[in-house]
Structure 1
Amino acid sequence: EMTKYYIVEVKYCGPNRNDAKHVDLERYEIMTTPPRIIATGEVCTGGYLGASRNTARYAHGVYDSLSAAEYALQTGPLRYQRFRRDPLDDFPYNVLAVYRPGRLPPMSDEALDQWLEYSVDISADDTHMDLVRQAGALRYEVEEEGYSVTMERMLSALEGLRDKARRGLDD
């Protein structure tokens, strides 16, 4: 019996989805045991497997080799994402490889807030479009530092700074 390789996507589906601490829960696992539907236990190689503890799982096919599964990750429906391979420190024995979306690890909320304190000048009268323009440029700078941050997270941080500036005017 030849070993088969299965791709399973793991996605956080609980509250506060844009929180940096949840970003790193998202991953693609290449496993040697067939994925099963959580509710019924039946084998499923394509589609939604169910969710438990704020984490949803999706099956993305069956492959004849590890390299075929890795190639599918890079060229299939997921090809528009950039991946980084994770060290396999705390995964079960049947998980052979783990890929995280994004080329770079996410910047923590604390680090982002600290970095923004020194990097930006947000004023009380900045419009939403001003913040959107700035967010795009700042995301690029964060990547230059070796980290990633989602557009939503960057925007909410900038809105927070603008609200703080507005409160400062009211005092």
Structure 2
Amino acid sequence: RMTKYYVVEVEYCGPNPYDVQNVDIDRYEITTTPPRISATGDVCTYGFLGTYNNVARYALGEYDSLAAAEYSVQTESLRGHQYRRDPEEDLPPDVQAVYRLGRYAPVTDDVLGQWLENSVDISADDTDTDLVRQAGALRYELEEEGHYCVTPARMLSALETLRDKARRGIDD
């Protein structure tokens, strides 16, 4: 019997999607184990598999080769996006490949905080518009310098936190 390969989309669907612990859950897995519907245990090669702990799973097809499965992920699901592949040594035995959106891994809260404190000068007078303007450029800069990615919402939130700190400093 020839080995079959299955593509499964894993997607975070819970609260606070931009929090660092949730932002990198989304992925496409290529596995040699047929996906099963969580409610019934039935094998399902295309369709909704279920949700558990705020994570939804979808079967996206069955393929005769790893190359065909990878091609489908790269040309259909990830078409037009930058993506990265997890290192093979990090994968469970039945998982052949994992693809995630984005060129780089998400930045941790600590690294983002340190980087911003060294990279920007946020004052108590900065308006929301000022912060929005800075957020885009800073996201690009962080990616180029630090090889991390950050969502627009998360970057803006971090800048607002710095502005709030500056405002509290004035009030004290």
Measured against aligned partners, the alpha-carbon deviations of 1:91-114 in whole angstroms (never above 9, x if no partner) come to 332211111211111111100001
Q: In the aligned structure 1, how far is the partner of 2:132 from the partner of 2:165? A: 17
Measured against aligned partners, the alpha-carbon deviations of 1:21-50 in whole angstroms (never above 9, x if no partner) come to 322322211011221111111122223211
User: Equivalent residue for 1:156?
Assistant: 157
How far off is 1:5 after superposition? 1.3
Matches within 5 A, 1:110-125: 110-125=110-125
Instruction: Please tell me whether the aligned partners of residues 91 and 97 of structure 2 are also in contact (alpha carbons under 8 angstroms).
Output: no
Q: In the aligned structure 1, how far is the partner of 2:147 from the partner of 2:126? A: 28
Instruction: Return 5+ residue gaps in structure 1 as ranges.
Output: none
How far off is 1:148 after superposition? 1.0
User: Equivalent residue for 1:133?
Assistant: 133
Q: In the aligned structure 2, how far is the partner of 1:89 from the partner of 1:16? A: 30
Q: In the aligned structure 2, how far is the partner of 1:161 from the partner of 1:84? A: 31
SS at match of 1:50: strand
Task: Give the letter aligned to residue 163 of structure 1.
Answer: D
SS at match of 1:89: helix
Instruction: Return 5+ residue gaps in structure 2 as ranges.
Output: none
SS at match of 2:77: coil
Measured against aligned partners, the alpha-carbon deviations of 1:42-77 in whole angstroms (never above 9, x if no partner) come to 122223211223322122222221111111111103
| Matched residues, number | 171
| Aligned CA-pair RMSD | 1.7
User: Equivalent residue for 1:28?
Assistant: 28
How far off is 1:90 after superposition? 4.5
Task: Give the letter aligned to residue 118 of structure 1.
Answer: N
How far off is 1:78 after superposition? 2.6
User: Equivalent residue for 1:95?
Assistant: 95
SS at match of 1:76: helix
Return 41-50 or 98-107, whichever deviates more: 41-50
Q: In the aligned structure 1, how far is the partner of 2:86 from the partner of 2:133? A: 32
TM-score by length of 2: 0.90
User: Equivalent residue for 1:146?
Assistant: 147
User: Equivalent residue for 1:168?
Assistant: 169
Q: Percent identity?
A: 68
